[in-house]
Amino acid sequence: MTHLPESDITTLDELVGRLSARALEHRIQPRLDATRLALDLLGNPQRAYRIIHITGTNGKTSTARMISAILRAHNLKVGLFTSPDLVSFTERIVIDGSPIPEAEMIRIWNEISPILDLADAQLEERGEARLTFFEALTVLGFAAFAEAPVDVVSLEVGMGGEWDATNVADGEVSVFTPIGLDHVGILGDTLGEIARTKAGILKPGAIAVSSAQAPEALSELRARAEELQVPLLVQGDDFSTTSVTPGIGGQLVSVHGLADDYPDLALPLMGDYQAQNAAVAVAAVEAFLGGGKVPLHRELVAEGLAGVSSPGRLQVVDHAPTVIVDGAHNPHGAAALARSFPEYFHFPRTVGILCILGDKDAEGVLRALEPIFDSVVLTTSGSVRALSPDALAARALPIFGQGRITVADSLEEALDEARYQCGPDDGILVTGSLTLVGEYLREHPASPSQNGN
């Protein structure tokens, strides 16, 4: 099929529509040649700045945000590329701490669209599919960062690593957050296979920084690092979180880094996993700025982390009853949430509002979260991938039992039901899907004091 050149767009909705018309975001192509073709035609903007590349199963976005915040405190102009968005599509491309303005995003899209059309035509001549949603978005992000211009990009992969569109860039530091089972069948069927795919972001001459990993995953990272003869610095061996003190709205964290100790860092995020992410972020910046051998300025590390936010991660968004949102959407993330939640919240009663996508391990997520809920309201989101409330209830019944389950056809109905079950001192946790959390945040914006906490 031949696609005619597209006319200019004028709104963000049109931009998202153009991207979505290429393929739904989760419809990926395991290739790099298409993204490379488009970037070659654009003059390879991804080579205009330095890159820290982040992959993993959970904690990628939070860690990427922390890396960006610490770099910015060191007076660098930083680009941040993350996905998915929760409230606005512009969240995916952040320049110097602020989402790219809509008008700027639209202007750059209109400028690169003829190049994307040309790449599409060449791909179709070769019998290949045209650029996907995420491939085109990655090209847009690289172009925006080059135009800014930024000094460095904190670059989160979309999915996996080896053939993710972002892997056309060469990261000086490759960061691996905790690796677990997710996207099984796409990235691999075992933890080792998934880790091998993610290890593909590691390039010759880079430095690898990894969180603590399961032995099977760590073995694959070590094999890739040894193959390329690059250092692999691992949490627990080469750096660590030495103390964590939970507090109101966050925690006090001490980090033993690669080159120095960074005590009593105020982190305005909740959850032990965020403390571990902070250590990974500190080590990654140490590796980037001084090869892991030069201490960072403690005051600047503290300044950076004190201002970090990570919306949709143990974020308090309402009170009486307290409403918390968290984007845990796979068993690994749900288990981390279940461990951290009781450290910060002690409600007489906790009601969960859950939606889970059909391509996720719903039973694994439900089992991990079951201990923290007195009851659950099962619902759906606007995603075409979301399980229906009744389908989710069928999976939840053996885990929760009939008496703890209610179904609701929408988030608003679920909130009404959860509030009906709660008193003013109780808690409601909205989780199971980033699409559900994003829907909540769009419809019920958090106050400035609650953003990112």
Of 153-157, 188-192, 363-367, where does mean pLDDT reach its minimum? Answer: 188-192
Name the residue ranges covered by the structural domains of the chain. 12-306, 315-443
Quick check: 245 pLDDT over 70? yes
Q: What pLDDT does 30 receive?
A: 86
**pLDDT confidence bin for 26, thresholds 50/70/90:** low
**pLDDT confidence bin for 25, thresholds 50/70/90:** low
**pLDDT confidence bin for 28, thresholds 50/70/90:** confident
d(CA 361, CA 117): 37
Quick check: 187 pLDDT over 80? no
Q: What's the whole-number mean pLDDT along residues 347-372?
A: 95
Q: Which two tokens stand for residue 256?
A: 């033993």
CATH label, 315-443, candidates 3.30.980.10, 3.40.50.150, 3.90.190.20, 3.30.360.10: 3.90.190.20
CATH label, 12-306, candidates 3.90.1010.20, 3.40.50.300, 3.40.1190.10, 3.40.50.360: 3.40.1190.10
**pLDDT confidence bin for 48, thresholds 50/70/90:** very high
d(CA 89, CA 102): 9
Q: What's the whole-number mean pLDDT along residues 44-53?
A: 98
Q: Which amino acid is at 44?
A: N
**pLDDT confidence bin for 1, thresholds 50/70/90:** very low
Q: What pLDDT does 453 receive?
A: 42
Q: Which two tokens stand for residue 299?
A: 């005051």
Q: For residue range 409-451, list pLDDT tens digits in order.
A: 999 999 999 999 999 999 999 999 999 999 999 988 754 444 4
Q: What pLDDT does 248 receive?
A: 81
d(CA 453, CA 436): 18
Q: What's the mean per-residue pLDDT of the chain?
A: 92
Q: What's the whole-number mean pLDDT along residues 202-215?
A: 96
Quick check: 235 pLDDT over 70? yes
Q: Which two tokens stand for residue 111?
A: 């400028």
Quick check: 341 pLDDT over 70? yes
Quick check: 4 pLDDT over 60? no
Q: Do domains 12-306 and 315-443 have the same CATH topology?
A: no
Higher-pLDDT residue of 368 and 310 is 368
Judge contact between 201 and 167, C-beta under 8 A: yes
Residue 122: in which H helix or E strand, if any?
helix 102-125
Q: Which two tokens stand for residue 296?
A: 């960072």
Distances (CA, A) of 140 to 8, 113, 173, 320, 427: 15, 9, 22, 42, 40
Residue 377: in which H helix or E strand, if any?
strand 375-378
Q: What pLDDT does 448 receive?
A: 42
List Cβ neighbours of 55 (8 Å cut-off, separation of 6 or more): 156, 157, 160, 161, 164, 174, 175, 176, 177, 198, 201
Q: What is the CA radius of gyration of the chain?
A: 21
Q: What pLDDT does 452 receive?
A: 47
Q: At what angle do helices 133-147 and 33-42 cross, to 10 degrees?
A: 30
Q: For residue range 285-339, list pLDDT tens digits in order.
A: 999 999 999 999 999 999 999 999 888 889 999 999 999 999 988 898 899 899 9
Q: What pLDDT does 55 receive?
A: 96
Judge contact between 154 and 78, C-beta under 8 A: yes
Model confidence pTM above 0.85:
yes
Quick check: 359 pLDDT over 90? no
The DSSP bridge partners found for residue 93 are 81
Q: Which residue has the tokens 């890396």?
A: 67
Q: What pLDDT does 157 receive?
A: 96
Judge contact between 397 and 365, C-beta under 8 A: no
**pLDDT confidence bin for 384, thresholds 50/70/90:** confident
d(CA 176, CA 199): 8
Q: What pLDDT does 3 receive?
A: 55
